[in-house]
Structure 1
Amino acid sequence: MKLIRIGKIAFTNILPLYHYFHFSDLSVELIPQVPSKLNQSMADGRIDMGPISSFAYAHDYPKYVIMPDISVSAKGPVGSIFLFSKKDEFSAVKDGKIALTNTSATSIHLLKILLEHFANGSPSYTTQEPNLDKMMEVADAALLIGDDALRANWSNTKYYVFDLGLQWYKETGLPMTFAVWAVNRRVAEERQEMLSLIYQRFLQAKKLGQQEPIPVIQEARRQLGGEVADWKKYYAGLNYNFGPEEQRGLATYFHYAKLTGLIKDEVKIEVLDLPVHI
C-alpha cells in the first residue's frame, strides 16, 4: 500500500500536535519542512496532507480539503510571529521599508493586510533569510516567524516587538488561523478509511498535548532552549482547534486579502466531514 506522506512544520509551534502522534502501525511517512517549502510540496503533490499556511490554501484551494478541528491558530497574541521595529508604534512603519522572512506565507500577507489596509500604508518590502540583525541593517522593521522569531525575541534588546496575532485581534476581534490541515483532494477521495484513522490519531495527540504538556515542553527546550515558564505561556496562547470561530476568522482574513489585492477570487473553506472517536 502506498504511504500517505504527511508534512510536519519544522517549528516548535506544532509539537503539541505531533509529540503524541503515534503512526508506526499506519501507512504514513512524516516529512518535516519549513512552512514555505511544505506549502510548495503540497502544491506539487509531493506531500499528501499536512499543516499548510492559510494563504497557501487560498492560493490553491481547489486542490485541497481541510481536516476538521485541527489548525494552528491564536485568539490574540500568537507568541512567535513578530514584527521587530525601530519605531515604538506598529503603524509608524506603514510607509517604511520592511524586511520579510523567506520562511512564511500567511504571516507575510497578514502583515500586508495590517499595514496596507488597516493602517492605510504603502511600505516597500524586501525578502531575506531570517537573520534579525542583517534584516534590520536594510529595513525599518523585520518580520520573523516560528523558532526564528522566538530566538530573536529572547535575545532582543534593541527593537520594539509587535505580535501580529494581537494586531489582528485588535482590528477584528477574531482569532487568526495561520495554518490549516489540508488534504490533497484525490487522497481524500481515494483513501478515506486511512484518512479517518490518521485524523483520530491527530485528535488523540492534540488531546494529550493539552492534558500532558510537560513532555512537549521538554522536547521544545531540547530543540530550542528557553525556560519552562516561557513555553507554558507560549503553548497556552496557541489554539489548535478549527471550529466556527476559527473558520470565521479565516474567512475574514481571506476577505481582507482580496480587498488588499493579495488574492483574486473568493476562497471556499471546505472542511471534510470526518467522524470523531477519541
Structure 2
Amino acid sequence: MPDYVLGVPRYANTAPLYHFLEQGDGIAFRYGVPTELNRWLLEGSVDLSLVSSYFYLANADKLRPLPDFSVADLGPVYSVNLFHTRPWRELRSVALTTESATSVRLLRYLLEADGVEPEYTGEQGGLELLERYDGVLLIGDRAIATYAGLLERIPESVHHIPREFTGPQGARLWVSDLSMQWYERTRLPFVFAVWATRRDEPPPPEVVRRLRAARSLGLGNLAAVAGTEAERLGVPERLMQHYLWNFRYHLEAPDRLGLQTFARAVGLPYPGDYWDV
C-alpha cells in the first residue's frame, strides 16, 4: 500500500505539529512553501496538507479541513512582518513574498482598510529589497530570522519588544506585525493555516490519531522543539521558545470566528464544515 503523503511547510511555527511525527508506517512527508503545498494538494501529489487559510477559503468547494488543527495567533506573530522605511500610511511601493497568498491578502486588506494603496510587486529576497521599495513583506523563517537579526539583545519582557530600528544606510526602519494589526482591528485570532484534504477523500483515522499524538508531544516538549528550530535558523533559543508558545494549534471557537471574519473581510464564503474525525 503506498504511503499517505503529508504536505508540510518547513517553518519553525509548524514544527510543534510534526516534530515528533516519524515518517514510515504508511506516512511520508513532502516539504514545500505554502504556495507549493496548496498546488500539490489540488493536483493530488499530497493527500493531507497544511494549507494557507486564504487558499482553503478560496477553494472550499474542493477542500475540507480537520476540525481541530490550526496554525493561528492572537496578537503579534513575529513572522508575518512588513519591514518598511516609510510610515504605514505613506507607503507607495511594497515587495511581496511569493510564498504565501494568505499573508499577501491580509496585508492588502489592512492597508486598504486604512486607505493606503501602494504598488505591489512579487519579489523573493530580504531587507536588500528596501533599496528599491518602501516596504517588503516577509513570512515564516525568513521573517523571524530577519527580525532576530535586528535585535541588539533579547528583551526580558514581551512588552518591551521593539518595532522600530535603524535599517540599511542608517534609515529608520519600522516592523509592522500583520497579526497584531489584525488583532487591533478585530480583537480576534488570525488563522494562517489548516490541515486539509480534498473534499471527497476523508483522512484515515489512524493518520489523524498520529497527528494529534505528535501535537501533544510537541506542545508538551516545546523547549526541545524550540531548541532544534533555533539551531536550524541560528536565532536565540529563548526568542524561539517565546515565538512558538504564542501560537494556537487547535482551531478553537475564537479561531473559527477569526477565520470566518477574515473570509467576510476578503469577500469569500465561510463554509464552516469539517471532517468528523
TM-score, normalization by structure 2? 0.89
Alignment correspondent of 2:231? 222
Give the superposition deviation at 1:234.
Answer: 0.2
1-structure distance, mates of 2:242, 2:88 = 23
Alignment correspondent of 2:75? 76
Alignment correspondent of 1:109? 105
1-structure distance, mates of 2:117, 2:23 = 47
Give the superposition deviation at 1:207.
Answer: 1.4
Q: In 2, are the aligned partners of 1:43 and 1:60 still within 8 Å (CA)?
A: no
Alignment correspondent of 1:42? 41
Which of the pair is proportionally richer in helix? 1
Alignment correspondent of 1:124? 119
* 2:31 is the alignment partner of 1:22: no
Report the AA paired with residue 267 of structure 1: Y
2-structure distance, mates of 1:77, 1:126 = 25
* 2:146 is the alignment partner of 1:152: yes
2-structure distance, mates of 1:77, 1:90 = 17
1-structure distance, mates of 2:198, 2:10 = 20
Alignment correspondent of 1:268? 271
1-structure distance, mates of 2:235, 2:132 = 29
Residue from 221, 229, 244 that aligns with 1:235: 244
2-structure distance, mates of 1:121, 1:226 = 33
Report the AA paired with residue 20 of structure 1: F
Report the AA paired with residue 67 of structure 2: P
Alignment correspondent of 1:7? 7
Deviation by residue 1:68-94 (Cα, 9 ceiling, x = unmatched): 11110000111111000113x43332x
Q: In 2, are the aligned partners of 1:79 and 1:237 still within 8 Å (CA)?
A: no
Give the superposition deviation at 1:130.
Answer: 2.8
2-structure distance, mates of 1:234, 1:224 = 13
Runs of 4+ in 1 over 4 A off after TM superposition: none
Of all paired residues, the percent bearing the same amino acid is: 32
Gaps of 5+ in 2: 151-165, 168-172
Change (3 A) 1:138 1:269: farther
* 2:209 is the alignment partner of 1:161: no
1-structure distance, mates of 2:79, 2:175 = 11
Q: Secondary structure at the match of 2:46?
A: coil
1-structure distance, mates of 2:114, 2:11 = 30
2-structure distance, mates of 1:177, 1:149 = 17
Give the superposition deviation at 1:23.
Answer: 4.5
Q: Secondary structure at the match of 1:126?
A: strand
Deviates more, 1:16-25 or 1:138-147: 16-25
* 2:167 is the alignment partner of 1:172: no
Q: In 2, are the aligned partners of 1:10 and 1:35 still within 8 Å (CA)?
A: no
Q: In 1, are the aligned partners of 2:21 and 2:211 still within 8 Å (CA)?
A: yes
2-structure distance, mates of 1:38, 1:179 = 11
1-structure distance, mates of 2:231, 2:207 = 27
Report the AA paired with residue 248 of structure 1: L
Give the superposition deviation at 1:239.
Answer: 1.1
Give the superposition deviation at 1:22.
Answer: 3.4
Gaps of 5+ in 1: 259-264
Give the superposition deviation at 1:138.
Answer: 1.7
TM-score, normalization by structure 1? 0.88
Q: Secondary structure at the match of 2:137?
A: strand
Give the superposition deviation at 1:243.
Answer: 1.4
Give the number of aligned pairs. 257
Q: Secondary structure at the match of 1:232?
A: helix
Alignment correspondent of 1:97? 93
Q: In 1, are the aligned partners of 2:222 and 2:245 still within 8 Å (CA)?
A: no
Deviates more, 1:14-23 or 1:98-107: 14-23
